[in-house]
Structure 1
């Protein structure tokens, strides 16, 4: 009897254990399925947010995918960029008229957005190194509308004033760029800084250099006019320009005069760079033919000629060209109020004396660079 009872109990225990195990396994399996499904859906939702499906997305390489994803957030990325850089040029560049369709503008927006998200801060490929009051700001503002150029808006003065901060500090100032884009900065005082060529060469022997030159007499008067607007009590132009005006002895220690002795500064640069690495922009032609000058700048930088005469109009009030009004703005893009000042009136005799002084320097400069800028 006892044996029969124990046998019955064992069978019951075995059945209970089997049922319990099966139940537990089913419960675990159900929870696992639910959990996995939730995870998959969450990941799909995240991927959809990060990069929505595109008709053209299948089979593209990574860069194409990044480009497609980033294009969906171009506007917000550009606004973030404008806030960081303290500049309104992004809105102005979004729809520059005068181009064939909006393809180039779309490319500019897309490249900027992708660069901000996936690009790197790199040392400059090219520098606008001079000269002061030659038209360097105009060249910078004109070239930076090109979709393959990212430029620093402010002058970092790294190779003349801040070199001890190091290249990492300098790199940190630069905008993010893609491998296909050019990083550019402008500091006009580099051209007359003796240490600048050696320091730039130490950064890279292959750096491309842009020098904007202008009639040295006109440049000196413009330089003086700018200084006078800040310091109205300085001596007259004639007093600063001459040691002895009666005999035509020019004071070459005055910086406004010395900057215009272009050949002296160029000889220093040619100790470290090939002439083919330096492109000279005519400040005069930049006013009369901005598209032509910018076309040559684009060629020098190895860029497609996208910036053309369709992008410019001549502002008679300021006396120089401006970029045409973008569709998204009610105002054209002209340089600031500090540009286009009316020059101080200088006696014709003083101008002739300075032209005579600069003539031998100009002739040697023409011969060295292979261009006649027709300043005489």
Structure 2
């Protein structure tokens, strides 16, 4: 094993004497593997090599996409990349794609099973339009939202495989996380309330993390141009920190019938999400009032 690791660097999260390493060592130490390792060309794959690959795949990431490869590398190396944390300090890492990536819950649980998770959610219809708006700013040639949202608009068949819509099926994604983490380790932030009452939502986050409520109303002011609150330090006269240029874009006008159909599509998933989290985000009230955010 030591000789083999000279040419193939060990992933940092495979700790010496851990179960994965012991099982892996058992495989690569077999005489059949040592004999067959010389025949690793595609034309000479043997049982020993096949067995090795099958075992490695149990403890290594599925490399079907660059995102998954990056996710595994991040999950394994996070502790090495993070700054040193002293007693009484908390280190945070933010990656939105974790919540909707199938392999993330298991890998993060393997890395730190006592980790606390904070998930920010908003009305999935508004979220989908915001997602589309961001893509449109980079690819103005893409189809309209109305076209992408349906497999067959005449029949009312919504394309739930479109990532902008699939991400908003929160109950589906949360189900994967609940297989590894209890709700007591999760905190859900309302994206809508974060805009209208940032101090209130941040107060709940501080409580969840076991921190003293230091961030309060005096740390925020509402930027009418952006349509979002900005963060400031009361004792600091420097320029407040607002969201970047990529935020606060005006949403394109979407056919009201499409919005209505999407609300109907998401409703059962939203109800399930409310039940799973024990929180009512009241997204149906937005549907009833016909109001929605015009900016992302």
Partner SS for 2:130: helix
Residue number among 220, 228, 237 corresponding to 1:320 in the alignment? 228
Judged with a 3 Å threshold, the aligned counterparts in structure 2 of structure 1 residues 229 and 167 are, in CA distance, closer, same or farther, namely: closer
Structure 1 residues 261-294: Cα deviation after superposition (integer angstroms, max 9, x where no partner): 0000111111001011110000000001000100
The reply on whether 1:193 has 2:101 as its aligned counterpart is yes
The reply on whether 1:221 has 2:129 as its aligned counterpart is yes
For residues 214 and 167 of structure 1, the distance between their equivalents in structure 2, rounded to whole angstroms, comes to: 26
For residues 283 and 210 of structure 2, the distance between their equivalents in structure 1, rounded to whole angstroms, comes to: 29
The reply on whether 1:178 has 2:83 as its aligned counterpart is no
For residues 283 and 167 of structure 1, the distance between their equivalents in structure 2, rounded to whole angstroms, comes to: 26
The reply on whether 1:275 has 2:183 as its aligned counterpart is yes
The reply on whether 1:336 has 2:237 as its aligned counterpart is no
For residues 231 and 82 of structure 2, the distance between their equivalents in structure 1, rounded to whole angstroms, comes to: 24
The reply on whether 1:205 has 2:113 as its aligned counterpart is yes
Question: What is the root-mean-square deviation in Å for CA atoms of aligned residues?
Answer: 2.0
Structure 2: gaps (5+ residues):
1-12, 14-65, 285-296
Residue number among 207, 230, 250 corresponding to 1:299 in the alignment? 207
Judged with a 3 Å threshold, the aligned counterparts in structure 2 of structure 1 residues 255 and 361 are, in CA distance, closer, same or farther, namely: same
Residue number among 59, 67, 70 corresponding to 1:162 in the alignment? 70
Q: Once structures 1 and 2 are overlaid, which stretch shifts more, 297-306 or 328-337?
A: 328-337
1:169 offset after TM fit, Å? 3.3
Q: Which residue does 1:255 correspond to in 2?
A: 163
**Stretches of 4+ moved more than 3 A in 1?**
158-161, 163-169, 325-330
1:333 offset after TM fit, Å? 1.0
The reply on whether 1:290 has 2:214 as its aligned counterpart is no
Partner SS for 2:77: helix
1:326 offset after TM fit, Å? 5.9
Partner SS for 1:206: coil
CA contact (8 A) 2:120 2:188 kept: yes
For residues 259 and 163 of structure 1, the distance between their equivalents in structure 2, rounded to whole angstroms, comes to: 17
For residues 138 and 120 of structure 2, the distance between their equivalents in structure 1, rounded to whole angstroms, comes to: 24
For residues 139 and 270 of structure 2, the distance between their equivalents in structure 1, rounded to whole angstroms, comes to: 30
CA contact (8 A) 2:76 2:111 kept: no
**TM-score (structure 2 length as normaliser):** 0.71
1:166 offset after TM fit, Å? 7.0
Aligned length: 220
1:328 offset after TM fit, Å? 4.9
Partner SS for 1:177: coil
The reply on whether 1:309 has 2:217 as its aligned counterpart is yes
CA contact (8 A) 1:315 1:322 kept: yes
The reply on whether 1:266 has 2:174 as its aligned counterpart is yes
Q: Which residue does 1:355 correspond to in 2?
A: 263
Structure 1: gaps (5+ residues):
1-122, 124-157
The structure with the largest alpha-carbon Rg is 1
Partner SS for 1:361: helix
Partner SS for 2:93: strand
Equivalences for residues 20-35 of structure 1 within 5 A = none
Judged with a 3 Å threshold, the aligned counterparts in structure 2 of structure 1 residues 167 and 340 are, in CA distance, closer, same or farther, namely: closer
Structure 1 residues 205-231: Cα deviation after superposition (integer angstroms, max 9, x where no partner): 211101100000000000000001011
Q: Which residue does 1:118 correspond to in 2?
A: none
1:194 offset after TM fit, Å? 0.5
For residues 75 and 267 of structure 2, the distance between their equivalents in structure 1, rounded to whole angstroms, comes to: 39
CA contact (8 A) 2:195 2:229 kept: yes
